[in-house]
Amino acid sequence: MSEDTKVRSESPELAAMTLPQLKKVATQLGIDGAAKMAKGSLVDAIADLQAKNREAAKAEKEAARAERDARRAERNNHNGNNRNQEKDSDSDSDDRSERNERNDRNDLKITKMAAHVVIVIVIVDAIATAIVKIVANQQFQKMTYYFQ
């Protein structure tokens, strides 16, 4: 079975369409001379274009996959070389200094977060104090009203 026949058998909806519908689809797809084609020719032209588009999409997908695999292989190879170089050199002191730098950065982050938490607590306390004063003032005004 040829690929053209396979495409047409997978596209029975094309054969079921009316001639005006097929012409409209063919025009939208940019098929030249669609207005003068017979129904069978339109079905064939649309099916052929769909097959070409599928093949192009498949080739594009395979190229993207090959490129991604090549990048991964290069990255893995690069990481492997770095690991080998670290093993060859005196990496204990390097590892300790890197860990110390990370710990310093983490300590700085924690300090900043703690400062933010303190600021939030101060703001919440100020809001709560203001609310208490407002409520107390309202209660005082109610009491003075009753005693007048």
| Judgement on whether residues 3 and 60 belong to the same structural domain of the protein | yes
Distance CA 6, CA 16 (A): 17
**Reported pTM:** 0.41
| Judgement on whether residues 100 and 81 belong to the same structural domain of the protein | no
| Judgement on whether residues 51 and 83 belong to the same structural domain of the protein | yes
| Judgement on whether residues 132 and 80 belong to the same structural domain of the protein | no
pLDDT one digit per residue (tens) for the chain, 148 residues: 344 444 444 567 888 889 998 888 888 888 888 889 999 898 988 888 888 888 888 888 888 888 888 888 888 877 665 555 555 555 566 677 777 888 887 787 788 787 788 888 888 888 888 888 888 887 777 777 666 6
Nearest Cα to 29, choosing from 8, 44, 7?
44
Provide the domain count of the chain.
2
> How many C-beta atoms lie closer than 10 Å to residue 24's C-beta?
13
Per the CB < 8 A criterion, the answer to whether 22 and 46 are in contact is yes
Distance CA 9, CA 32 (A): 23
Domain limits for position 104: 96-148
| Judgement on whether residues 119 and 59 belong to the same structural domain of the protein | no
